[in-house]
Amino acid sequence: MTIYSRIVGTGSYLPAKVLTNRDLERMVDTTDEWVFTRTGIRQRHVAAEGENASDLALSASRRAIEAAGIGPQNIGLIVVATTTPDMVFPSTACILQAKLGIKGCPAFDMQAVCSGFVYGLGAASQFMGTGQYKYALVVGTEVYSRILDWQDRSTCVLFGDGAGAVVLKQDSAPGIMSCHLHADGSYAGMLSVPGTVSGGKISGRPLLQMEGSTVFKFAVKVLEEVAEEALAANHLRKSNIDWLIPHQANIRIIKATARRLGLSMEKVVTTVDRHANTSAASIPLALDEAVRDGRIRSGQHVLLEGVGGGFTWGSVLIKW
Ligand code: UT7
């Protein structure tokens, strides 16, 4: 008998501080009008000093665990998708495990940049398929404010901090219907933070750099491709998608993807206006919002799709 997994709880967390485009006008040579018309972003949240990826993850996880109606001690596996870990090691997943007050279960980080959550969900659902785990916690958490060059207007206006989490439960029926993951490392230079720690010093430049328009075109292309791939694998049509939750980087990318898939924007969950691009956190943040406000309902098909540095991209198709 095939063992599937189902999302039984979602949660999210946004840091208290809000930075609007108007605030950014006072920091770099930009305008609210430029940022909004090019990206759809109006504001983003920024973590407080000392507030780390594991802290954001903890708040989101507690909400997801509560929504699942279980306690932290029931969690059998922790996967944390992040590109902005608390430290080089231990993993943010291990730090989160300790903050949740549990021990013993496997906990590891997933590094796939903005595709991290779909990679993490894909990995966790494969683990669940072994039947060894009843519940898994999958989190996307980011503090991109720490890896931005706040003097570079072409990148600092685009990103924000936040976290989202889901609890997976073992089930005899999907749940998670399919997961398709991809990568092409030949595009590594297109979007990167080309720095590391070496000999007690920072080597390279540990700030985000991006070839914006190349990334834009790549994202639109692969977001359409992975949606088609997921539908074909499940013998579904575009009209069967009840909700599309794409990575939230730019409303123009999201609209172009929806157009190519023939989907009305009413079927697309968007948070980019208020959260900006929160990388691995963007999909679970949007998912939590649409679950909690009642848009996503039992029996519906929900397609998650991510794309980001690496390059990495992928989809997870869910029957809710
Ligand atoms: O998370 C996964 C990956 N990330 C993404 O998916 C992001 C993908 N890329 C994008 O969203 C868009 O390419 C951007 C929003 C980054 C840029 O939009 P664009 O329409 O591709 O603009 P552009 O890069 O062609 O820049 C147009 C102009 C440039 O000026 P010139 O050379 O035309 O005079 C930039 O210097 O806009 C200028 N510019 C700005 N102006 C005001 C760049 N950033 C800003 C800014 N404010 N913040």
Residues 84-135: tens digit of each pLDDT: 999 999 999 999 999 999 999 999 999 999 999 999 999 999 999 999 999 9
Whose CA is closest to atom 42 on ligand 1? 30
Ligand 1, residues at Cβ distance < 6 Å: 30, 34-35, 38-39, 114, 153-154, 157, 191, 212-213, 215-216, 219, 249-250, 253, 277, 308
Among 28, 29, 144, 154, which residue has the most ligand 1 atoms within 8 Å of its CB, making it the best to mutate? 154
Question: 4-173 has which fold?
Answer: Peroxisomal Thiolase; Chain A, domain 1 (3.40.47)
Domain positions in the chain = 4-173, 177-319
* pLDDT at 157 (0 to 100): 98
Atom of ligand 1 nearest to the CA of 252: 11
Judged against a pLDDT cut of 90, whether residue 51 lies above it is answered with yes
Q: How far is the CA of 154 from the centre of ligand 1 (A)?
A: 6
Compute the average pLDDT of residues 239-263: 97
* pLDDT at 201 (0 to 100): 96
Residue 54 pLDDT class (50, 70, 90 cuts): very high
Atom of ligand 1 nearest to the CA of 213: 13
Q: What is the CATH number of domain 177-319?
A: 3.40.47.10
Residues 143-182: tens digit of each pLDDT: 999 999 999 999 999 999 999 999 999 999 999 999 999 9
Judged against a pLDDT cut of 90, whether residue 23 lies above it is answered with yes
Q: How far is the CA of 210 from the centre of ligand 1 (A)?
A: 10
Compute the average pLDDT of residues 250-273: 97
* pLDDT at 16 (0 to 100): 98
Residue 52 is among the residues annotated as catalytic for this protein: no
Q: Decide whether 4-173 matches 177-319 in CATH topology.
A: yes
* pLDDT at 1 (0 to 100): 80
* pLDDT averaged over every residue in the chain: 97
Among 216, 253, 305, which residue has the most ligand 1 atoms within 8 Å of its CB, making it the best to mutate? 216
* pLDDT at 170 (0 to 100): 97
Compute the average pLDDT of residues 22-33: 98
Catalytic residue among 247, 250, 275, 301: 247
Residue 114 is among the residues annotated as catalytic for this protein: yes
Q: How far is the CA of 212 from the centre of ligand 1 (A)?
A: 6
Judged against a pLDDT cut of 90, whether residue 273 lies above it is answered with yes
Total-model pTM: 0.97
Q: How far is the CA of 240 from the centre of ligand 1 (A)?
A: 34
Residues 244-254: tens digit of each pLDDT: 999 999 999 99
Catalytic residue among 94, 105, 114, 156: 114
Residue 156 is among the residues annotated as catalytic for this protein: no
Judged against a pLDDT cut of 90, whether residue 82 lies above it is answered with yes
- Concatenating the DSSP letter of every residue in the chain gives ---EEEEEEEEEE--SEEEEHHHHHTTSS--HHHHHHHH---EEEEPPTT--HHHHHHHHHHHHHHHHT--GGG--EEEEE-SS-SSSSS-HHHHHHHHHT--SS-EEEE--GGGHHHHHHHHHHHHHTTT--SEEEEEEEEEGGGGS-TT-HHHHTTB-EEEEEEEEEEESS-SEEEEEEEE-GGGGGGEE--EEEETTEEEE--S-EE-HHHHHHHHHHHHHHHHHHHHHHTT--GGG-SEEEE--S-HHHHHHHHHHTT--GGGB---HHHH-B-GGGHHHHHHHHHHHTT-S-TT-EEEEEEEETTTEEEEEEEE-
Q: How far is the CA of 191 from the centre of ligand 1 (A)?
A: 13
